[in-house]
Structures are given as structure tokens and as C-alpha cells.
Amino acid sequence: MSQAKEIKARPVYFSLEQLQAVAAECIPAGRKATAERYLTEIHGEHIPPSEYLDRVFGLDMVITYRGWVIGLDVTLDPGALEGKQRKQAYLSDAYAKLGLDKWGVIVAPCTDLKATLSQIIKG
């Protein structure tokens, strides 16, 4: 997302250990087990934190923007928007435990990232 650089959004990174600790506490056991089984099959013992964030927490990225820590799920399918928003509501405790202030879904291509992030911040 070159737009992210233009608006001075910065990526936030987590270690696998941080993500696993929050997942153990806040992610439903069935979701966590299914995702971890898949990740282990694909990556073995060396699971990238970004993949864990995606599969377990359903987030493609976490950024800081205007002082807010925002988790984003990016989709190409506008029809998936409602289901992804329900998933985020379901996982809101885990997101808060990760330190996120806000979270939302972006339908790609996103022509105005600044406006989209402003909408997420406003709720």
C-alpha cells in the first residue's frame, strides 16, 4: 500500500510469542486449533508472525495512523464485507488485548486510504 506511506501510516509488528500469548487467552479454542494446524502443515515449526496474525486473528496488517493503532483485514470481495465485520466483532476482545484501538475491513482496491481510515476511526 503505497498510500499508507503517503499518509504516514506505519506498520506495527508482533512477535509470534506475543500473538500466541494473546490467542491462548482470547481466541476461541476451535478457531485457534484449526488455524495453528494449518499453519504448522504449511510452515512447520517456523510460523511467520504475519501469517499467524492473518489466520488466527483475521487481520492482514496492523498500522499506526494519527496516534491510533488500527487492525485491517483487506478483501477483494465486497460480498465478504459483512461476514468479516461480524468476525471482527466476535474477536474484539482479542484485538483490544493486542493493543488495537480500532479495526476494520478494507475492500481493495482502496482508492482513498486516508478517508477509509478516517471512517474506521470514527466508528
Tell me if 59 sits within 8 A of 35, measured CB to CB. no
Exposed, middle or buried, 97 (CB in 10 Å: 0-12/13-18/19+)? middle
Question: Tens digit of pLDDT for each residue in 20-67?
Answer: 999 999 999 999 999 999 999 999 999 999 999 999 999 999 999 999
pLDDT tens digits, 70-118:
999 999 999 999 999 999 999 999 999 999 999 999 998 777 888 888 8
